Structure 1
Amino acid sequence: MDTETADLDGTDAAVIGGGPAGLSAALQLARYGRRVIVFDTGQGRSTHHQLNRNYLGFPGGIATKELRTLGVRQLAHYPHVRFAAHRVTAVVGDVRRGFTFQAQGHVWWARTVVLATGVLDHFPHFPDWEQYVGRSMFWCIACDGYENRGRRVLVVGHTDAAAGEAMQLHSLTDRVVLLTNSRKDEISSRFRRRLEAAGVPIVHDRIKAAEGADGRLTAIVTRGGEHLPLDALFSIQGATPETAAVRGLGVRVNAQGYVEVDVEQCTSVPGVYAAGDITAPHSHQVSAAVHEGAQAASAANYFLYPPELKAN
């Protein structure tokens, strides 16, 4: 038996993901006295240069990176929580046998699983694009729309979802432009009429380069030669749920690939729970992730109790 497996035979729960949902789940499980391992690659939305201003209790906002740091520091008070800086590549098993996790040449085992792997955003790619994410390139009007009131906003996307976001942002600023950034332009005539009536131009072109420094975009240059000045870019090019590693579990997903859960964050597989952005295409908020992580942990904890301790 692999030494990692032998050391962790008593692990009650494995949490895959170290963002707000995963850390919240780990904390709640730890406070139930459960032995937990958290797999965290140090990637994902909560590692961007994002200042979260709509999470209650932080009047000046809090950087998502700092929130992660505080969460890890909080969990350090619980010696029965362990972190593994490994990417899980496969998960198999069931509640009868337990769940086995493969990651970078090691094998782990746990009695339950909390999936908190998040999503992969499809941001526009241009030289040094990563430095702008969370500073002047965003994906969420609820998170960053308010701070961009009255500013020059470029919405990037070629679908009605992007057109809808442009219309929503237009309620905060009348300086909105939509750039398709795609060979395709799938915006319906209904939304075209709405954009035209609101004075929101559509530029059907693709990004060639960006102008800016220190994380602050000032303009986008298109392949067709358009120069589009801006203060903020909102990318509405979609996101992909990070479910590849857990497909072996057989959890049910919807048509968009998000893991289906009930009101207690239970998936279709007993002993497997999911929380955070992986569970729905909307409401991707820190507050929602923290709540779902805690709910998933409570459900997992109750599941782990022997029958004689359960009321039903």
Structure 2
Amino acid sequence: MLDCIIVGGGPAGLNAALVLGRARRKILLFDDNRPRNAVTQESHGFITRDGATPAEFRQLAHQDIQKYSSVEFRTERIATAAKHADFLEITTSSGAVYHTKKLLLATGLKEVLPGIPGIEEYYGRSIFSCPYCDGWELRDQPLAIISEDEDHALHLTRVLWNWSRQLLVCTNGKAALSPEFKHVLRSRNIAYSEHPITHLIGRSGRLERIRFSNQEEASLTGGFIKPDWFQSSELGRSLGCAMNPSGGLLTDEFGRTSVAGVYAAGDTSVISPSQVIIAAGEGSRAAIGINTDLAHEEF
């Protein structure tokens, strides 16, 4: 019987494994090695690791955790999870079955990019979703704000204004901007287009121009978008975990879900803001909750 199985080897799962390993808990961490941030060139905003690549971050994390022999890794996907009275039963895609006292879901999110031809080539290189992760690198450059939602477009415009005054708001033909929003943009000399985007033009993932359906073009070197996010795993729902309004698993301050013995951390529970340092902190907090609950039950 394991103390805890962790599903997901991103920052949340890895930091939870570190804390639980140091607490002398017997842990199995499952990871299928398909991280959402694989397209990211560098990670930012994590003190002592600013600018590290996701691969470097994972390598260093594994080195830290390997000092604790009670933690083991498996490169395999979890197929099902079932709740029993005193334990959880986990079945892998290969049919292996494990029993554990606690289960931590740190499976993260998947994202759907706006329906713009070729956007995948630029995402993670010159088009991003988080200004706090990549705004500094694009400071003072001509940038597109691509959002099909006016409220988000206004929020992103306000935030990016401190990084660059050369902004172009694009709704990709999906929304008509209100007269009030247009007035705000004009008062700050911010351009906008409500036409669909037909082409992204550039080289090696570096944006140079955007072409619209009316054949107009804008010269830009980068931009920010609003992807749609959804849970990358259905394990939480299959176990009956309640969801929060943003689409993550509902948890308390120590990662406990509505199902006893099941915990969640990182983007699985806190969808926004999505940052490495926040996910790692959530993993640490959930690990403390898991160890505390185990200690109370054993004492």
Q: TM-score, normalised by structure 2?
A: 0.89
Residue equivalent to 2:108: 118
Structure-2 change in CA distance of 1:83 and 1:70 (3 Å): same
- 2:90 aligned residue: 101
Deviation at 1:249, TM superposition (A): 1.4
> Structure 1: which 5+ residue stretches go unaligned?
1-9
SS at match of 1:305: helix
1:219 CA drift (Å): 2.1
Q: Residues 73-92 of structure 1: matches in 2 within 5 Å? A: 73-92=63-82
Q: 1:298 to 1:218 in 2, by over 3 A?
A: same
Shift of the 132–70 alpha-carbon distance from structure 1 to 2, 3 Å rule, reads farther
Q: Which residue of 1 aligns with 2:255?
A: 265
1:233 to 220, 223, 236: 223
User: For residues 292-311 of structure 1, what are the structure 2 equivalents within 5 Å?
Assistant: 292-305=282-295, 307=297, 309=299
Q: What is the 5 A alignment of 1:1-312?
A: 10-58=1-49, 61-94=51-84, 96-106=85-95, 107-124=97-114, 129-159=119-149, 160-181=151-172, 184-185=174-175, 187-305=177-295, 307=297, 309=299
Contact persistence 1:50–1:133 (CA under 8 A): no
* Distance in 1 between residues matched to 2:165 and 2:105, nearest whole Å: 40
SS in 2 for 1:291: helix
Q: CA deviation at 1:141?
A: 1.2
Deviations 1:34-77 (A, max 9, x none): 1212121222333222312311123x621222101211222223
Counterparts in 2 of 1:89 and 1:154: CA distance versus 1, 3 Å: farther
> What amino acid is aligned across from residue 19 of structure 1 in structure 2?
G
- Distance in structure 2 (CA, Å) of the matches to 1:92 and 1:221: 50
Q: Secondary structure at the match of 2:78?
A: coil
Structure 1 length as normaliser, TM-score?
0.86
Distance 1:188 1:115 in 2: 41
Stretch deviating more after TM superposition (77-86 or 29-38): 77-86
Judge conservation of contact 1:20–1:46 (CA < 8 Å) in 2. no
In the alignment, the residues of structure 1 paired with residue 297 and residue 206 of structure 2 have an alpha-carbon distance, to the nearest angstrom, of 57
How far off its partner does 1:308 sit?
5.9
TM-fit CA distance, 1:128? 5.9
How many residues matched? Answer: 297
Q: CA RMSD in A?
A: 2.3
| Structure 2 unaligned blocks of 5 or more | none
Q: CA deviation at 1:21?
A: 0.7
Per-residue deviation, 1:187: 4.8
Contact 2:5 2:100 in 1 (8 A): yes
- Percent identity over paired residues: 30
Quote the offset at 1:190 in angstroms.
Answer: 4.2
